[in-house]
Amino acid sequence: MTIRNLLLSAALLAGLATSSFAAHHGGGGSVFAKTFLGTYGNETDKLVSLAEAFSEEGMKWRPAEGIRSVRESILHVAAANYFIGSRLGGEMPEGLNPREFEKTITSKEETVQTLKDSIAFIKSTVGHMNDEALNESIKMFGQDMNKMGAVLVVGGHAYEHLGQLIAYARSYGVVPPWSS
């Protein structure tokens, strides 16, 4: 096979992969959104697998009085996903009140499912955004920013709390599933 044929084949495969990704994620068409979803998916998969690694009892553990428990930290991430996702234009599910998560969700199973659902909400919302939508101005946390900035905030927030939960896991004796 010649170099020309190899390059042509590589370009064809890249085009098919991009088309497949766009079709799967709503065809938002933004290179930024596609890139974000790839990294966000990897990190949130870790977040979910770590949440699943804690026992029901472990979900109640907190490093000190007055600091969020494992369960509360996971639900904090889920609530932020819904809040920021709705600012990005996502339609929050009927009857959902993220401000009540930490008070009303008590089981490990429901905590993990709430996290998974909130991640899917972000992925769907961002996956449908094109460059024009990402450039739209919004006000968030009292600041003016574009929606791309808000997408970065939701990603940074998830990564921050992944790090927090890794520290919680190590302190509690849970080994992160991807590191064993």
pLDDT tens digits for range 34-70 = 999 999 999 999 999 999 999 999 999 999 999 999 9
Number of domains in the chain: 1
Instruction: Give yes or no for residue 9 having a pLDDT over 70.
Output: no
Q: Are 122 and 78 in contact (CB under 8 A)?
A: no
Per-residue pLDDT tens for 114-130?
A: 999 999 999 999 999 99
pLDDT digits (tens, 9 = 90+) for 90-108: 999 999 999 999 999 999 9
Report the 10 Å Cβ neighbour count for 87.
18
Does 22 fall in a domain?
no
What residue numbers bound the domain in which 85 lies?
27-179
pTM: 0.83
Q: Is the pLDDT of residue 156 over 90?
A: yes
Residue 18 covered by a domain: no
Give me the CATH number covering residue 130. 1.20.120.450
Question: Within 10 A of 77 (CB to CB), how many other CB atoms are there?
Answer: 24
